[in-house]
């Protein structure tokens, strides 16, 4: 018997609020993963993602405390991502357009790559802001 894949006309999206900390800079971003065809699929991804990221945050905090206690200064480059929450929302069919969302991988992979996704989002936002400023300049 052939199998069929059900594709929801109104897919689900997982939004993840992330704080990214670098030396002297803290940035906030909301990342959108998906599309998911059912709320159950989105919930399962979300729970695994949050559980894995909590373990990463705990391990990073422990490593930082050990390094600071031993040396008095951080011994590695400082880049941390904190997840403040994840929500599941239903969106329109336009989110299925390539590039509209971050395609979800295995949630464990995404939890380890969240800082990379956040940095890419900031990079795109800064480039868009500079392009806007360049276009808004008055000719001299």
pLDDT of residue 77: 63
- The helix (run of H) or strand (run of E) holding residue 30 is strand 25-36
Q: Which of 93, 89, 71 is nearest to 31 (CA)?
A: 89
> Dihedral (C-alpha) 87, 89, 31, 74: value to the nearest 10 degrees?
0
Could you read off the pLDDT of 44-92 as tens digits, one per residue? 999 999 999 988 887 776 655 555 555 555 555 677 888 988 999 999 8
Instruction: Name the least confident of 7-21, 27-41, 62-76, 88-102.
Output: 62-76
Answer whether residue 104 shows pLDDT above 90: no
Question: What's the token pair of residue 39?
Answer: 């709320």
29 band by pLDDT with thresholds 50, 70 and 90: very high
Q: Which of 66, 70, 14, 20 is nearest to 42 (CA)?
A: 14
Answer whether residue 100 shows pLDDT above 80: yes
Question: What's the token pair of residue 54?
Answer: 């909590």
User: Residue 49 burial by CB count (10 A; 0-12/13-18/19+): exposed, middle or buried?
Assistant: buried
Q: Which of 121, 24, 15, 40 is nearest to 78 (CA)?
A: 24
Where are the chain's structural domains?
3-102
- The torsion region of residue 38 among left (phi > 0), alpha (psi -120 to 50) and beta comes to beta
pTM of the full structure: 0.75
pLDDT of residue 13: 94
Question: What's the token pair of residue 136?
Answer: 């808004």
pLDDT of residue 6: 61
The dihedral of CA 34, 54, 112, 116: what is its sign?
A: positive
């Amino acid at each position: 018997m052939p199998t069929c894949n059900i594709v929801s006309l109104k897919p689900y999206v997982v939004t993840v609020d992330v704080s990214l900390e670098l030396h002297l800079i803290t940035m906030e971003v909301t990342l959108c993963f998906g599309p998911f065809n059912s709320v159950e699929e989105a919930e399962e991804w979300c729970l695994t993602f949050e559980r894995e990221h909590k373990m990463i945050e705990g391990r990073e905090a422990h490593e930082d405390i050990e390094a600071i206690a031993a040396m008095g200064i951080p011994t590695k480059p400082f880049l941390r991502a904190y997840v403040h929450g994840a929500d599941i929302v239903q969106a329109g069919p336009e989110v299925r357009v390539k590039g509209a969302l971050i395609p979800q991988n295995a949630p464990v992979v995404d939890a380890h790559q969240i800082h990379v996704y956040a940095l890419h989002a900031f990079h795109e936002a800064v480039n868009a802001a500079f392009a806007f400023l360049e276009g808004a300049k008055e000719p001299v």
